[in-house]
Structures are given as structure tokens and as C-alpha cells.
Amino acid sequence: MDCFFSPCVDAVHKPDVCCPVCPNGPNCYHGKTKIPAGKDYNDGQQICRCPDHFHFGSGGQQAVCRVVLDLTTAPAHV
């Protein structure tokens, strides 16, 4: 039987199951932080979301991030 991709970064192989399983559900990485699928993670500089549908690259499942702008510390325009 062929196994499709694993929707997690911490898949394990159980002796009684052919394909790897995800004990913590679908998830992905932002750096070394594991994020559950569909959840946001704020590292103080950017907000990252583990997508519900995964896109694979050479680094495996990666979170999609956007920069957080802190407008309270932005310089005033003259």
C-alpha cells in the first residue's frame, strides 16, 4: 500500500500500522516551534499560521507568516 504524505512534522511509525500516524494531529513548523494546523503563533515580530492544507517544500511543512507592525513605535511623519 502506498502512503500519502503525512500531515504532521512529528509522524511516528507504529508496528501494527502500515503508514505513519500523527499522534498530535496535523501540524507544521515555524523555526523549531510546532504549530497545530489552523492555529496562529505570534513570536512578537510575526504571526504564523499552520495552514489547514499543506504545501510542501524542501523543509517539510512550514507555517505561513506575516509581519506584525507595531504602529505605536513608528516614527511620526513631519
Highest-confidence range of 31-40, 58-67, 69-78, by mean pLDDT?
31-40
Q: What is the pLDDT of residues 49-73, one digit of tens each?
A: 988 765 554 445 788 899 987 666 5
Amino acid at 43: D
Q: Which three cell numbers stand for residue 2?
A: 502506498
Write out the E strands in the chain: 27-30, 33-36, 40-42, 46-49, 56-57, 60-61, 64-67
> Residue 33's beta-bridge partner residues?
30
Distance CA 37, CA 71 (A): 29
pTM as predicted: 0.70
User: Residue 26 and residue 1: Cα distance in Å, rounded?
Assistant: 21
What pLDDT digit, counting tens, does each position of 11-21 carry? 998 898 888 89
